[in-house]
Amino acid sequence: MDLKSRVDVATGRVPADLVLRGGRIVNVLSNEIHGGDVAICGDRIVGIGQYDGKEIVNLDGQFICPGFIDGHVHIESSMLAVPEFAKVVSVHGTVAVVTDPHEIANVMGTEGIRYMLSSSKHCPIYIYVMLSSCVPASCYESAGAELSAVDLEPLLANRWVLGLAEMMNYPGVVGGDPTCLDKIAMMMNRPVDGHAPGLSGRDLCAYVSCGIGSDHECTTADEAREKLRMGLSIMIREGSQARNLEALLPVVTPETLDRFMFVTDDKDVDDLLEQGQIDHMIRKAIGLGMDPIHAIKLATCNTARYFGLKDLGAVAPGRLASIAVLEDLKDCKVSRVYHAGELIAQDGKSTGKSVEQQPSQTLRSSINLHWVEPEHLQIKAPSDGPCDVHVIEVIEDRIDTERSVESITPINGCLQADPKRDLAKIAVFERHQASGKIGLSFVRGFGFSSGAIASSVGHDSHNIVVAGTNDADMLAAVIHLVRIRGGFCVVKDEKVLADVALPVAGLMSEVDAETLSAQLRKLHVAAEQLDGKLRRPFMALSFLTLSVIGQLKLTDQGLIDVDQFKLIEPVVA
């Protein structure tokens, strides 16, 4: 649409293509709610006031909001193909997401990032990419690729690439690691996201001084306040596993309002279908006492401004006609969603194509496991008597861990799981280069009385991780994942009770959201048959391999003391 046409419609000389009439505009620029028609010409809002149009939609007092933007999300964590993810979130008022394809990049390198960009072309919403900064996440994980600044630089030419994603290696930044600093320096004036849990004082100063602009790892109000003072924008996270909105909301005041935005980070398909996405955060924030206009501001214009998305984030002339229409402001019930002037969702249903109709994208197989034998799961005892072992303690709805020490009496010279004490064995198998690397340890918190569960989703290098009460079931679970090209499974008495195939990089499904959700329900029911007690056992399992957060984690290279950032033996020295 040329500028002359916009001007003609805005001045009233020519009728608009579409007029939204009788609604109440949630104006995040002036922080007020007011009346007025919204006139749309092509993909743009061109006028607010009184207008005639070729098509007029009477909203009968409903609320006209800017379309929502998720400022930091790993689409792979939904387990949905990119077009299906876009279809699901569009129904909830989301018109754009800023994704870090960190998960698939750890499996496939730049091939994975290009796959995500290519898969985004036919989606009903905008999908922007921040280039994955830490592949692998640390030197104690074996990923499927290593990405340097030289590897990432060509991708900056893509118009959908905005900047550098979460710099998880904050010790590297603070320590002056040139591989970290080169990636940051390469961004010039582009946004660089942070990831610095608990970083404070001079180390925080050093981190921010490099040009990092945000952080989504704040878990306490005090941490958020310090990072605000240092100049960071705070991404308030509310995902499936990490939920920080309630803890951080007291820091959002009229004085600090412009420095916050809403993100989901990691949210699985079940929670997307049951709760929603950014709309869920708006509802929760309002329920906790936040002004509705302020809540919508954190979901729209603040995010757009931080990322330089000047065409999004507000209902105003010149902006894209990307709009969420709400039946009720407090409950954030979305009735219609327009994106770039087109109706993409109505009454809880997408008007777009289903995932099966999208142009197909193919990737090579990503499950390359060395031959596994039963003895590979054995933890040898150093003596015949009781041995003290390190235990990873799972925390419900958290991605970090605690640690403890337990005494185990050897059986036939090996240390075994003890279900009566909720002590399961955990193993991580390298699955990218078939190197044969295996990490072994013990974990508490799953509550299993029998059986095993396994996953090819293991943040961030996504090696195969399995936890169980006996070696036979653990071995059977690992072998089954190889057969289905990655995914999840539950095994008892060496029989598969349920599985979910994730053949796209071992991370994402090829089926629609409802089918995948039904598969996951069967999976969780099967896990309950093992007397599992966690709400999301597979989500918890997937984060036990993330070597940069928590007190103890396990990778294919071994047990990691995260506080000291070094490898330790599973048996206490």
Note whether residue 51 is domain-resident: no
Residue 207 pLDDT exceeds 50:
yes
Structure tokens at 420: 């009566």
Give the whole-angstrom CA distance, residue 539 versus residue 77.
Answer: 9
Q: Are residues 104 and 195 in the same domain?
A: yes
Q: Do 418 and 539 reside in the same domain of the chain?
A: yes
- 3-class DSSP state of 477: helix
Q: Are 461 and 104 in contact (CB under 8 A)?
A: no
Q: In whole angstroms, what is the distance from residue 277 CA to residue 535 CA?
A: 19
Q: Encoding tokens for residue 469?
A: 């009460």
Taking the C-alpha atoms of residue 113 and residue 109, their distance in angstroms, rounded to an integer, is 7
The answer on pLDDT for 359 being more than 60 is no
Q: Do 392 and 442 meet the contact criterion of CB atoms below 8 Å apart? A: yes
503-535 pLDDT tens trace: 999 999 999 999 999 999 999 999 999 999 998
CA nearest neighbour of 115 among 81, 85, 149, 157: 81
Average pLDDT over residues 241-260: 95
Determine the average pLDDT of the residues in 309-332.
97
Query: Quick one: pLDDT band at residue 355, thresholds 50, 70, 90?
Result: very low
Same domain, yes or no: 384 and 303: no
One-letter amino acid at 224 equals: A
Give the CB-side neighbour count of residue 110, counting CA atoms within 13 A: 12
Instruction: Return d(Cα 2, Cα 248) in angstroms, integer.
Output: 44
Output the CA torsion 488→491→495→497 (10° steps).
Answer: -70
| The Cα angle at residue 501 between residues 500 and 505, in degrees rounded to 5 | 135
User: Residue range 373-387: average pLDDT?
Assistant: 94
Contact 315, 64 (CB under 8 A): yes
Same domain, 142 and 253: yes
Contact 192, 184 (CB under 8 A): yes
Question: Is residue 42 domain-resident?
Answer: no
Extract the tokens encoding 15. 């009728």
Domain match, 272 and 414 both = no
- Residue 558 region, left (φ>0) first, then alpha (ψ -120 to 50), else beta? left
Q: Is residue 197 part of a domain?
A: yes
pLDDT tens for residues 32-68? 999 999 999 999 999 999 999 999 999 999 999 999 9
- What band does 241 get if pLDDT is binned at 50, 70 and 90? confident
The full DSSP string for 381-419 is -SSSS-EEEEEEEE-TT-SSEEEEEEEE--BTTB---BG
Q: For residue 376, what are its two tokens?
A: 């590979």
pLDDT band for position 248 (cuts 50, 70, 90): very high
Q: Which residue has the higher pLDDT, 453 or 399?
A: 453
Q: Give the model's confidence band at 548: pLDDT under 50 very low, under 70 low, under 90 confident, else very high.
A: confident
86-95 burial by CB neighbour count: b if 16+ within 10 A, else e? bbbbbbbbbb
- As a whole number, mean pLDDT of residues 539-556 equals 92
Asked if residue 479 is part of any domain, the answer here is: yes
Burial readout 144-155 (b: 16 or more C-beta within 10 A, e: otherwise): bbebebebbeeb
Q: Residue 573: pLDDT band by 50, 70, 90 thresholds?
A: confident
Does 44 fall in a domain? no
333 within some domain: no
**pLDDT tens-digit series, residues 480-493:** 999 999 999 999 99
Helix, strand, or coil (residue 483): helix
Per-residue pLDDT at 397 exceeds 90: no
Domain boundary among 285, 314, 343: 314
Cα distance between residue 309 and residue 299, in whole Å: 13
Task: Indicate if the pLDDT at residue 367 is higher than 70.
Answer: yes
Q: Are residues 286 and 399 in the same domain?
A: no
Residues in contact with 237: Cβ distance below 8 Å, sequence separation at least 6, in sequence order: 72, 216, 217, 243, 244, 245, 263, 264, 265
Binned at pLDDT 50, 70 and 90, residue 356 comes out as very low
**Domain end marker among 269, 291, 314:** 314
CA distance 85 to 116: 12
Mean pLDDT of the chain: 95
Residues 288 and 385 in one domain: no
Tokens encoding 354? 């289903």
Residues 297 and 389 in one domain: no
**Could you give the number of structural domains in the chain?**
2
Q: What sign results for the dihedral spanned by CA atoms 485, 486, 487, 488?
A: positive
Looking at residue 360, its pLDDT comes to: 54
pTM score of the predicted model: 0.93
Confidence of residue 361 (pLDDT cuts 50, 70, 90): low
User: Are 480 and 495 contacting, i.e. CB atoms less than 8 angstroms apart?
Assistant: no
Q: What is the rounded average pLDDT of the residues 140-164? A: 96
Instruction: Report the percent of the chain where pLDDT is more than 70.
Output: 98
- For 21-46, give one letter per residue: b (16+ CB within 10 A) or e: bbbbbbbbeeeeeeebbbbbbbbbbb
Residue 349 lies in a domain: no
Structure tokens, 519: 């598969």
Measured over the CA atoms of residue 144, residue 150, residue 151 and residue 155, the dihedral's sign is positive
Handedness of CA 487, 493, 494, 498 (dihedral sign): negative
Residue 353's pLDDT is 55
Average pLDDT estimate for 468-476: 98
Q: Positive or negative, the Cα torsion across 175, 177, 178, 183?
A: negative
Q: What is the CATH classification number for the domain harbouring 165?
A: 3.20.20.140
Q: Are residues 251 and 167 in the same domain?
A: yes
40 domain-assigned: no
Between CA 229 and CA 243 the distance in angstroms is 23
For residue 551, give its domain range.
Answer: 374-568
Residue 149 shares a structural domain with residue 226: yes
Give SS3 for 455: strand
Does 79 share its domain with 209? Answer: yes
Strand-pairing partners, residue 440, are 427
Write out the two tokens for 472.
């036979």
Which residue among 262, 288, 314 closes a domain? 314
- Can you tell me the mean pLDDT for 407-422? 96
Average pLDDT over residues 124-147: 94
- On whether both 309 and 379 belong to a single domain, the answer is no
